[in-house]
Amino acid sequence: MTLLRSLILFFFIAAAAFAAAAASAPRPWRGALYGAPAYIPDLDKPLRAAFIINTTPAAMTNEDSDWLALAAQFNALVLSLPIDYTKPDAGAQRILDTLAAGSRLFVDHPEIKNLGVVLFGFSAGSAGAARAASSPLLSNPDPDKPPQRVLAVINLNEIDGGAYEAPMSTPQLLLSDAGDQFGGLLTPVESSNPPISHDAYVRKRAAGGAPITVVNEPGHFHGGARYRYRNRVDYGFMRVWLEEVLKARLPLEPPLAAPAFAPNWRGHSGWLGAYDVATNTASLPWGDDERMVNVVIAPRADYSGDRPFIWLPSERAAKIWRTYAVEGVLPPREPDRPMMATDAFLRPADDVKDGKRDMRLPPFAEPARGTGALAPLLCELAPTEAGAALIAFDRAIVSGEASIEGFAKADGPPQVWSNVMIVPLKAGAGARSLKIALSHVTPKDGGPPIDLTLAAACR
């Protein structure tokens, strides 16, 4: 073979490989459907579900890594749709109209108008999500007759009774918070008469056959952890729970010819979880806020306890729920992988729980608006003001060391709160940068310690 022919063959093979790689790469789309912000992970594949997000900026999900991973896993359409809890049928109709608009815009995706939906809401938005789920436009009162378009309902920090209940046949998840004055386990359900706590309400519905789960997530406060050690909602357990629900509830094939039909899950087998609620335990990461104790799980068929229970969709979800309840932190999704940092931010405030001025640190910082560069740090730490750097990891930690250079310096040894390291800071020499070198950060699960350096320039 001549050199020329060899080169031609080489470039032909390379071009074919490049084309194959390009063909297999996802083709995402962002835009608007019927006036609603929308995202599709891959236009080259059929869509499987629609995630309807009824929330506020305090708990935005549009760029959250767990929501985006779920959307990619199931090639789900993500829609940010406001749903008024006083007008559930109008909200349900807007969902249907928006899905129909999707099929009109993408003519090779007739399944969009027929998709089953997951409804998510935060605070009062939870009432809108649950009430729209019960609209006869989405859920026939007879759970065995169409339409049955609702795959799941997820409530962040609030759940309501009466007219604001999701169907008893639909999987539902309440993301509660140990220190949330609105959505805690022991907080009364709003407007309940006689009063009933969120915890008792959820277990009462579960006893009636509703496939409903509650998880206690320390450190969130109300929709974003503004006054705790995290600075955004952790959707890690929601991701596990919804993965398990969708794997079992999605139709095997995309709904091309007719609307998806979600099966009746009232009395679903699954697993059950039982627990007691304790306060003032002085234990991390709950402090003196409420926590679950005496936690047990079992398949429904094997459960023999006399305590009220909650439902869990699978063995995997049940075991992760138990770990979260007992440890206060989720187990890592990939336990065999070395520990890694998942978020880091500077909190320039005297109160380490006050996150009103949080600034993300690279590589977790967000690009400046309209540019591809990371937004530089606003290095403001008055001589009399304290602050902290907070670094979150993908699992619980027990100890670590830190050295600081730049406009701030260490104000004591690092503190540990569950999976978060808190590095106390005070004003330094006025340099226009910040460098935080962490060493010997040791995970609670016995894995090897890691070192990590964070650096940022000031604006």
* Three state DSSP letters for the chain: CCHHHHHHHHHHHHHHHHHHHHHHCCCCEEEEECCEEEEECCCCCCCCEEEEEECCHHHCCCCCHHHHHHHHHHCCEEEECCCCCCCHHHHHHHHHHHHHHHHHHCCCCHHHHHCEEEEEEECHHHHHHHHHHCCCCCECCCCCCCCECEEEEEEECCCCCHHHCCCCCCCEEEEECCCCCCCCCCCECCCCCCCCEHHHHHHHHHHCCCCEEEEECCCCCCCCCCCCCCCCCCCHHHHHHHHHHHHHHCCCCCCCCCCCECCCCCCCCCEEEEEEEECCCCECCCECCCEEEEEEEEEHHHCCCCCCEEEECCHHHHHHHHHHHHHCCCCCCCCCCCCCEEEEEEECCCCCCCCCCCEECCCCCCECCCCCCECCECCCCCCCCEEEEEEEECCCEEEEEEEEEECEEECCCCEEECCEEEEEEEECCCCCEEEEEEEEEEECCCCCCEEEEEEEEEC
Which pLDDT value is given to residue 131?
Answer: 96
Distance CA 312, CA 172 (A): 10
Tallying the residues shown for the chain, one arrives at: 459
Residue 1 pLDDT exceeds 60: no
What pLDDT sits at residue 290? 92
pLDDT at 121 (0 to 100): 92
Distances (CA, A) of 77 to 36, 102, 412: 12, 9, 47
pLDDT confidence tier of residue 22, bands split at 50, 70 and 90: very low
Among 272-281, 298-307, 328-337, which is the least confidently predicted range?
A: 328-337
Which residues, including other chains, have CB under 8 Å from residue 129's CB and lie 6 or more apart? 52, 54, 83, 119, 120, 121, 153, 154, 155
What pTM does this model have?
A: 0.86
pLDDT computed for residue 5 by the predictor = 54
Among residues of the chain, what percentage have pLDDT more than 70?
A: 87
**All domains of the chain in start order, with CATH:** 29-327 (3.40.50.1820), 341-458 (no CATH)
**Spatial separation of the C-alpha atoms in residues 48 and 42, rounded to whole Å:** 11
pLDDT at 305: 86
Residue of higher predicted confidence among 392 and 21: 392
| pLDDT for 367 | 62
Predicted pLDDT at 73: 97
Our CA dihedral for 194, 197, 202, 207, rounded to 10 degrees, sits at -60
Report how far residue 290's alpha carbon sits from residue 16's, in angstroms, rounded to the nearest whole number.
59
Q: Average pLDDT in the 127-151 region?
A: 97
Residue 105 has pLDDT above 90, yes or no: yes
Whether the predicted pLDDT of 346 surpasses 90:
no
Short-list 33, 150, 131, 32, CA closest to 84: 131
Range in 1-15, 168-182, 246-260, 341-355 the model is least confident about? 1-15
- Is the pLDDT at 72 greater than 70, yes or no? yes
- Once rounded to an integer, what is the mean pLDDT over residues 395-403? 93
What is the mean predicted confidence (pLDDT) over 300-307?
Answer: 93
pLDDT number for residue 248: 97
Task: Measure the CA angle with vertex 170, ends 146 and 248; round to 5°.
Answer: 90
pLDDT at residue 225 in the model: 53
Say which residues have a Cβ less than 8 Å from residue 14's Cβ, sequence separation at least 6. Answer: none
pLDDT of 296 higher than 60: yes
Judged against a pLDDT cut of 50, whether residue 21 lies above it is answered with no
The whole-number pLDDT of residue 15 equals: 47
Average pLDDT of every residue of the chain: 87
Average pLDDT for 103-114: 98
Whether 33 shows a pLDDT value over 70: the answer reads yes
Which of 361, 418, 419 lies closest to 387, judged by CA?
Answer: 361
Mean pLDDT of 154-170: 93
Calpha distance 139→121 (Å, rounded): 18
- Find the mean pLDDT for residues 347-365: 77
Instruction: Identify whether the C-beta of residue 208 lies closer than 8 Å to the C-beta of residue 279.
Output: no
